[in-house]
C-alpha cells in the first residue's frame, strides 16, 4: 500500500510540470495567445504584472470555473506582447478587474413557456487593465488603461459543453479587444517609452 501511494505521488510530480508547460501551448492553440502579434518593446528594464483583482469565488461570479481566467489571459498578453529592452525603469501592468458574472434572465411563463426555448443566463465579462511606466533616469512617467466589456447568453437547453464553449468565446472576444485597445493606448499615451 505504501509503495502504491509513493508511486502515485511520484507520478503526480512528474505529470504536473508537463501540465503547466502545456497550458501556454493550449492557450495559444485555443486562440487565447498573442505570440503571432508583433511584440511591443518598452525602454524599461523590468515588466511586472500586479493582480489587484480578487475573485469572490462564488455566485454570481463564475470566472474561477474557467479553464483559462481573464486574469490569466492578461498575464499571457504581457508575456507575448510586451518586451523590456532598457537598462533602467519599470512597467507595471495592473489588473484591476477580471470578472465574469452570471445573470439569470426572465423566462416565458404559462402555457407559452412550455413551447418556448428562452435565453436563460447571460454572462457579463469585464476586464480593466492599466499599464504604468516609470523611467526616472529619463524623467518620464506615464500610463494608459482600458476597460473591456462583453456579454454572451445561453439558452435554457444548453449543455455543459456548450456553456463552457460560450465562456471560452467570451474570454476570447475580450482578449482580442484588450489586445487592440492596449496596443493603441501604448502608441497614443506611452509612445515616449516605446523602442521602435
Tell me what pLDDT residue 150 has.
97
The whole-angstrom separation of Cα 13 and Cα 120 is 42
State whether the Cα torsion 153-165-19-75 is positive or negative.
negative
Average pLDDT over residues 97-106: 95
Tell me the residue ranges of DSSP E strands in the chain. Answer: 40-42, 46-51, 82-84, 90-104, 119-135, 140-155
Tell me what pLDDT residue 113 has.
59
Report the Cα 131 to chain-centroid distance in Å. Answer: 15
Confidence category of residue 35, pLDDT binned at 50, 70, 90? confident
The whole-angstrom separation of Cα 50 and Cα 48 is 6
Tell me what pLDDT residue 27 has.
58
Q: Is the pLDDT of residue 173 over 70?
A: yes
Q: Is the pLDDT of residue 153 over 60?
A: yes
CA angle 76, 80, 82 (to 5 degrees): 105
For residue 105, give the 3-state DSSP assignment: coil
Give the global pTM: 0.81
Element (H, E) at 55: none
The full set of domains in the chain, from first to last, is 41-110+119-193 (3.30.160)
The whole-angstrom separation of Cα 173 and Cα 182 is 14
Confidence category of residue 106, pLDDT binned at 50, 70, 90? confident
Q: For residue 131, which of 98, 95, 172, 99 has the smallest C-alpha distance?
A: 95
54-80: buried (b, 16+ CB within 10 Å) or exposed (e) per residue?
ebeeeeeebbeebebbbbbbbebbbbb
Q: Percent of the chain, pLDDT > 90?
A: 71
The whole-angstrom separation of Cα 171 and Cα 127 is 10
Beta bridge partners of 47: 91
Specify the higher pLDDT residue, 55 or 120. Answer: 55
Q: What is the pLDDT of residues 62-100, one digit of tens each?
A: 999 999 999 999 999 999 999 999 999 999 999 999 999
Amino acid at each position: 500500500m505504501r509503495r502504491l501511494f509513493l508511486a502515485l505521488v511520484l507520478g503526480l510530480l512528474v505529470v504536473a510540470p508537463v501540465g503547466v508547460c502545456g497550458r501556454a501551448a493550449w492557450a495559444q492553440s485555443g486562440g487565447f495567445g498573442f505570440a503571432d502579434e508583433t511584440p511591443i518593446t518598452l525602454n524599461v528594464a523590468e515588466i511586472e504584472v500586479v493582480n489587484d483583482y480578487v475573485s469572490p469565488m462564488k455566485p454570481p461570479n463564475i470566472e474561477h470555473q474557467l479553464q483559462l481566467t481573464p486574469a490569466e489571459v492578461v498575464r499571457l498578453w504581457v508575456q507575448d506582447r510586451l518586451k523590456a529592452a532598457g537598462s533602467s525603469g519599470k512597467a507595471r501592468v495592473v489588473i484591476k478587474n477580471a470578472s465574469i458574472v452570471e445573470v439569470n434572465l426572465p423566462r416565458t411563463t404559462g402555457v407559452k413557456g412550455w413551447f418556448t426555448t428562452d435565453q436563460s443566463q447571460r454572462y457579463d465579462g469585464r476586464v480593466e487593465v492599466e499599464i504604468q511606466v516609470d523611467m526616472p533616469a529619463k524623467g518620464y512617467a506615464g500610463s494608459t488603461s482600458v476597460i473591456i466589456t462583453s456579454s454572451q447568453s445561453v439558452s435554457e437547453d444548453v449543455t455543459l459543453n456548450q456553456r463552457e464553449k460560450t465562456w471560452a468565446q467570451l474570454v476570447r472576444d475580450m482578449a482580442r479587444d484588450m489586445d487592440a485597445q492596449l496596443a493603441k493606448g501604448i502608441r497614443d499615451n506611452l509612445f515616449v517609452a516605446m523602442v521602435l
